[in-house]
Structure 1
Amino acid sequence: MQRRILGLALAVVTVAAVAGCGSSDSGSSAASPAGDGKTTQVTVGVIPIVDVAPLYLGQKQGFFSSRGIELKMVTAQGGAAIIPGVVSGQFQFGFSNTTSLMLAQTKGVPIKSVVNGAASNGKVGADVTAVLVKKDSSIKSAKDLAGHTVAVNTLQNIGDTTVRESVRKAGGDPAEVKFVEIPFDQMPAALDGGRVDAAWMGEPAQTIAKAQGARAVASPFAETHPKLTVATYFTSTKIAQENPDLVKKFNEAMAESLKYASEHPDEARQILTTYTKISGDVLTKLTLPNWPAQVDTASLEKLAQLGEQDGIFGGKKPDIGALFS
């Protein structure tokens, strides 16, 4: 599914077609100056998850409006829908995990990362994603995942690639892990019901699963690289070339937003209630990612190498410098 949708970005993708992928709000079709000539309306394609909290927080704090940017966020189910939306001009910027962006680039999709989005916090056992098993499972470590079924939200992407690395580092055979695709919000029930032996979960799924008694046996992001750049905001190469001033202002506002979110974690948690259904104990207990303003090039090179090893990129090597510089 991911490869098919990304392939659509190589053709002329209509706004209506993209809007059908997880969002009922088509947003504006282009960055356009407002009537006073000082404000630019910008639509950003996002996923309603913890990672994008700085964007909403930055909007609230006025970091974008002070630079003449009027933000509008449009939600989609994942980066696979957001990427063609950016290329078609439905969104001026989008949010996606870095493996999806690398995959798109190797397929010739004209995109460019413009600013960091989210990163691993580097804490094994307390990172933003984890592989969880039932309390009474015989699986005690990542090594034991070999020969078992593990749920990931998208096959052939950042989840299974980093899980394999955790298994490899623990001394297990990553080729013996069977991956199945299940949406994050369905994983706690799938694990509790015995449909899978383990599940790689982000937030708030892992906090919900832990409340049901599940326990973590691996922290794939942190174990792959302690400063792993997980996701970034990106634009089309067309906008990057034709409107560099807008890209510069978005980068500056986003960098300020990332810094503010990092320094005000309680406000970052609270902003989640404005665009997700997260609340109560889950809100206070969930693990936040790190939000550095700059990507970590070494971690991206490691991720690209693992993706090549897994055959995700179809024999083509991602150009990290061109995509993320």
Structure 2
Amino acid sequence: MRSRVHVLFVLAVVLLLGSCSVFTETTNTTAPAPERDRLVVGVGNAVETAPLRLAVADGLFQRGGLSVELVELKEGDDPVSVLTNGEVDVVFASNVALFRAAGKGAKIRLHGEAYVAGTGSMALVTLPDSAYTDPGQLEAPRIAVPSPNGLGSLTSRSVLEAAGVDPTKVTFPVIPFDGMVEALRTGRVDAAWLTEPHLTAAQTEHGVRLLADCAHGATESFPMSAYAATEKFSSANPRTLALFRELLAKAQQRGADSGAVRGELTHLGDIDDVTASLVSLGSYPQVVHAERLQRVADLMHGAGLLSERLDVASLVPKGELP
């Protein structure tokens, strides 16, 4: 009996030591390093990219083990072309531009949402003395937008249709943001679609009047923009982009502090103190939410901007789906 007890005791000790060895080996195992320690990221609108810009400026990414170089995109640049041409590793772009490209066969992956519209984040405006005072007033309004078949035309059609206007009768002259007030003055367009900070600047400098809030109704809390990389780059650098997403989430969290965002906007672009203090801010998501983004793709499909329904979840890295 004593011999049997002794054997069981020895066996228990051996198993215990073995398990300790296993735990020690697991604990000491280090995760593989990212494939690269530097990313080039193309950025645009200062309001929508504010958290990323602030995080890069104060070293959050550097401390996290990833050097991020920001490249400024001009208003007329096609961000998807900049990305697919290899000029940047990751690019900021409107969701409409990204989904339109994906619908045409571009192989892209979404690695972060940038911005979701809040009340007053985007709107149709007219001059103070304009006779166009109600969005349903004109049968065939001409609306200035900064790009063809983009976020401006998509959201404008939505609010005008809700006001009783046939969306097929609306025309969209393409005019840069800095030329829209002049286009209103000369009568080239009836209204202009503006986003922040251009919207607040036009209100304070030219007294433009709000005709319709484009973040209302079907486009309330509308996802406006995101960060994307090509499928090829994403497949070759999964750990690097996982680190980018992790650090971007921390950066986006800072966007909840509107005071901090406003306080830094003057350092992020051509935005004066008054405009920075008055801009209408939306929100900065910390993760890619496919169901939220699907709203954009479905609205695009309904408006004819996508020939077939796009499954947004197919653009999100599988491990990132909520």
Equivalent in the alignment of 1:95: 92
Equivalent in the alignment of 1:319: 311
Equivalent positions of 1:146-225 (< 5 A) are 146-211=139-204, 212-225=206-219
SS at match of 2:172: strand
- Supply the AA of the counterpart residue of 2:84: V
Q: Does the 8 A contact of 2:147 with 2:174 survive in 1? A: yes
Moved more, 190-199 or 248-257: 190-199
Superimposed CA distance per residue, residues 148-201 of structure 1 (whole angstroms, 9 cap, x where no aligned partner): 211011121211111111011122222222211111122123224433210000
Q: 1:297 to 1:146 in 2, by over 3 A?
A: farther
Give the drift of 1:110: 1.4
Q: 1:42 to 1:86 in 2, by over 3 A?
A: same
Q: Does the 8 A contact of 1:42 with 1:70 survive in 2? A: yes
Q: Distance in 2 between matches of 1:105 and 1:149?
A: 28
SS at match of 1:143: coil
Percent identity among equivalent residues?
27
Identify unmatched segments of 5+ residues in structure 1.
Answer: 1-36
Give the drift of 1:203: 1.7
Q: Distance in 2 between matches of 1:57 and 1:94?
A: 17
Q: Does the 8 A contact of 1:99 with 1:158 survive in 2? A: yes
Q: Distance in 2 between matches of 1:303 and 1:271?
A: 29
TM-score w.r.t. the length of structure 1 is 0.80
Which residue, out of 215, 220, 223, partners 1:226?
Answer: 220
Q: Does the 8 A contact of 1:146 with 1:167 survive in 2? A: no
The structure number with the bigger radius of gyration is: 2
Q: Distance in 2 between matches of 1:235 and 1:39?
A: 15
Q: 1:156 to 1:145 in 2, by over 3 A?
A: farther
Give the drift of 1:119: 0.5
Equivalent in the alignment of 1:71: 68
Between Structure 1 and Structure 2, how many residues are aligned? 283
Q: Distance in 2 between matches of 1:103 and 1:223?
A: 23
Q: Distance in 1 between matches of 2:193 and 2:164?
A: 19
Q: Does the 8 A contact of 1:228 with 1:296 survive in 2? A: no
Q: Does the 8 A contact of 2:252 with 2:285 survive in 1? A: yes
Superimposed CA distance per residue, residues 49-88 of structure 1 (whole angstroms, 9 cap, x where no aligned partner): 3111111111133321122111111111258532223223
Superimposed CA distance per residue, residues 253-306 of structure 1 (whole angstroms, 9 cap, x where no aligned partner): 11111111222x232223333331111322221222211213454443232222
Q: Distance in 2 between matches of 1:322 and 1:297?
A: 9
Q: Distance in 2 between matches of 1:79 and 1:53?
A: 20
Q: 1:38 to 1:178 in 2, by over 3 A?
A: closer
Q: Distance in 1 between matches of 2:178 and 2:76?
A: 16
Equivalent in the alignment of 2:21: none
Q: Does the 8 A contact of 2:124 with 2:212 survive in 1? A: yes
Equivalent in the alignment of 1:23: none
Aligned-pair Cα RMSD in Å: 2.2
Are 2:40 and 1:43 aligned?
yes
Q: Distance in 2 between matches of 1:218 and 1:102?
A: 25
SS at match of 1:254: helix
Are 2:108 and 1:116 aligned?
no
Q: Distance in 2 between matches of 1:215 and 1:145?
A: 17
- Supply the AA of the counterpart residue of 1:178: T
Give the drift of 1:115: 0.7
- Supply the AA of the counterpart residue of 1:50: V
Q: Distance in 2 between matches of 1:234 and 1:322?
A: 13
Equivalent positions of 1:224-263 (< 5 A) are 224-263=218-257
SS at match of 1:262: coil
Superimposed CA distance per residue, residues 7-49 of structure 1 (whole angstroms, 9 cap, x where no aligned partner): xxxxxxxxxxxxxxxxxxxxxxxxxxxxxx9971211011143
Q: Does the 8 A contact of 2:158 with 2:219 survive in 1? A: no
Equivalent in the alignment of 2:294: 301
SS at match of 1:200: strand
Identify unmatched segments of 5+ residues in structure 2.
Answer: 1-33
Equivalent positions of 1:19-38 (< 5 A) are none
SS at match of 1:294: coil
- Supply the AA of the counterpart residue of 1:117: A
SS at match of 2:114: strand
Equivalent in the alignment of 2:259: 266
- Supply the AA of the counterpart residue of 1:213: G
TM-score w.r.t. the length of structure 2 is 0.81
SS at match of 2:215: helix
Equivalent in the alignment of 1:132: 125
Q: Distance in 2 between matches of 1:251 and 1:79?
A: 27
Q: 1:309 to 1:42 in 2, by over 3 A?
A: same
